Amino acid sequence: MALNVGVIGTGMIGQDHIRRLTQVLSGVTVVGVSDIDLERAKMAAPEGAQIFETPEALIASQMVDAVVICSWGPAHEAQLLACITAKKPVFCEKPLVTSEAAALKVMQAEEAHGSRLVQVGFMRRFDGDYRRLKAVIDGGTLGAPLMYKSMHRNASVPHDLYTSDMPLNDTLVHDADVSRWLLGDEITGVEVRVPRRSKQGGDLRDPVMVLLHMGSGAIVDVEISVNVAYGYDIRGEVSCETGIAALPNRPATVITDQFGIRQAIPEDWRERFIDAYDQEFREWIVAARQGSATGPSTWDGYAATLVADAALKAANSGAFELIEMCNKPKIYN
Ligand code: NAP
């Protein structure tokens, strides 16, 4: 029997996820949608899906087995808590929530439920290249990981919507999460350095360099540049005791012409991570059908929230900002 899903938030990524749930993946049906903008919900709803006037009505509906949250970050807390109260598995786009207090509330509610219900949309963990990189590190043949370089470059960001805080509280969360996952370690402190600004970014604090200090003593150096003009360029290289493991540049057709020999660069995250998004939902559907969740958890969303808060503080103080996590509830082990 198909998993009947309700989607909350039908903006850019909500529409993309509805497309994959209806046209790419099997074992799932989008039976309901909700958006603060009812007209947008109607436009995005697949044939036969019900339009719900509120997220609460969608979550409570008997026809909805599981929920996908694609609304903006500040709305996630209330929607996640309602899903947990209704005991429904929920996929929530990043960020899990936008404050430490909210993350703790969601964690407490899930712990009280007694098992995981929430999966967070950190799709890099489902990308084939990242999975192969992790397998090499976990295999141990290169020794312990000592340093990781993570490069996150966007062609451009909307100048009217993207603020100077966002490289640190929006973009960085993917690099922070993948660092914790690849190195099997927690982040214990953050430093931020702001180099000469790119003229491409106008007044924006861009680029930024972030140092993540890991519990083991390993250090992660993250470059975030959000106006590089040439494309969406995600790189990663782990230096271990006896060797180096790196993400490959994506295979693409090699073009030879009057400008030289070159390969195309993905335009944006939708193109670069298209297979990873499909895979994260494949695995979510399997878990949600069993009333459960897999992959990135509320704990991982909480960790990313703490890193974002500490990074913003570090950008202002110029100092090393400590991160202290609460005890990890057993359901996340
Ligand atoms: P978006 O285009 O602004 O879409 C968000 C949609 O949710 C809008 O239609 C918005 O309506 C609606 N909405 C806001 N509050 C709501 C509420 N309380 N109930 C129901 N609908 C509500 O944003 P987006 O780019 O799709 O991003 C959505 C989420 O996905 C964000 O959390 C973002 O960080 C995340 N995201 C993740 C990735 C990834 O790589 N994993 C990539 C992109 C985005 P209004 O426009 O009227 O407010």
Question: How is domain 124-275+306-322 classified at the CATH fold level?
Answer: Dihydrodipicolinate Reductase; domain 2 (3.30.360)
Can you tell me the distance from the alpha carbon of 326 to that of 302, in angstroms, rounded to the nearest whole number?
A: 10
Q: Determine the distance separating the centroid of ligand 1 and the alpha carbon of 209, expressed in angstroms.
A: 27
Each residue's pLDDT expressed in tens, for the chain with a length of 333 residues: 899 999 999 999 999 999 999 999 999 999 999 999 999 999 999 999 999 999 999 999 999 999 999 999 999 999 999 999 999 999 999 999 999 999 999 999 999 999 999 999 999 999 999 999 999 999 999 999 999 999 999 999 998 899 999 999 999 999 999 999 999 999 999 999 999 999 988 889 999 999 999 999 999 999 999 999 999 999 999 999 999 999 987 778 899 999 999 988 999 999 999 999 999 999 999 999 999 999 999 999 999 999 999 999 999 999 999 999 999 999 999
Can you tell me the distance from the alpha carbon of 150 to that of 223, in angstroms, rounded to the nearest whole number?
A: 6
Q: Determine the distance separating the centroid of ligand 1 and the alpha carbon of 13, expressed in angstroms.
A: 7
Residue 172 pLDDT? 97
CB 192 within 8 A of CB 186: no
Residues of the chain with CATH 3.40.50.720: 3-117
- Name the pTM for this structure: 0.95
Residue 331 pLDDT? 98
Pinpoint the alpha helices (H) of 2-54: 12-19, 38-44
Can you tell me the distance from the alpha carbon of 250 to that of 129, in angstroms, rounded to the nearest whole number?
A: 9
Residue 249 pLDDT? 79
Give, using CA atoms, the residue closest to atom 46 of ligand 1: 11
Nearest to 30 by CA among 42, 38, 18, 41: 18
Angle, CA of 22, 13 and 159, to the nearest 5°: 160
Range 5-14 burial, b when 16+ CB lie within 10 A, else e = bbbbbbbebb
Angle at which helix 172-183 crosses helix 298-317, to 10 degrees, equals 120
Residues of the chain with CATH 3.30.360.10: 124-275+306-322
Q: Determine the distance separating the centroid of ligand 1 and the alpha carbon of 320, expressed in angstroms.
A: 32
Can you tell me the distance from the alpha carbon of 208 to that of 311, in angstroms, rounded to the nearest whole number?
A: 11
Residue 182 pLDDT? 98
Strands (E), 143-232: 145-153, 187-193, 208-214, 219-225
- Strand (E) or helix (H) holding 313: helix 298-317
Give, using CA atoms, the residue closest to atom 34 of ligand 1: 94
Can you tell me the distance from the alpha carbon of 106 to that of 122, in angstroms, rounded to the nearest whole number?
A: 17
Task: Tokens for 2, please give them.
Answer: 């198909």
Radius of gyration from C-alpha coordinates of the chain: 20
Angle, CA of 7, 8 and 13, to the nearest 5°: 80
CB 245 within 8 A of CB 238: yes
pLDDT tens-digit readout, 317-326: 999 999 999 9
Place of tokens 């074992």: 27
25 ligand 1 Cβ < 6 A? no
Can you tell me the distance from the alpha carbon of 286 to that of 4, in angstroms, rounded to the nearest whole number?
A: 12
Closest atom of ligand 1 relative to the 78 alpha carbon = 18
pLDDT tens-digit readout, 105-132: 999 999 999 999 999 999 999 999 999 9
Residue 1 pLDDT? 83
Q: What dotted CATH number matches 3-117?
A: 3.40.50.720
Place of tokens 């990873």: 276
121 ligand 1 Cβ < 6 A? yes
Backbone angles phi and psi of 224, in degrees to 5: -120, 115
Q: Determine the distance separating the centroid of ligand 1 and the alpha carbon of 186, expressed in angstroms.
A: 28
Q: How far apart are the first and last CA of the chain?
A: 30
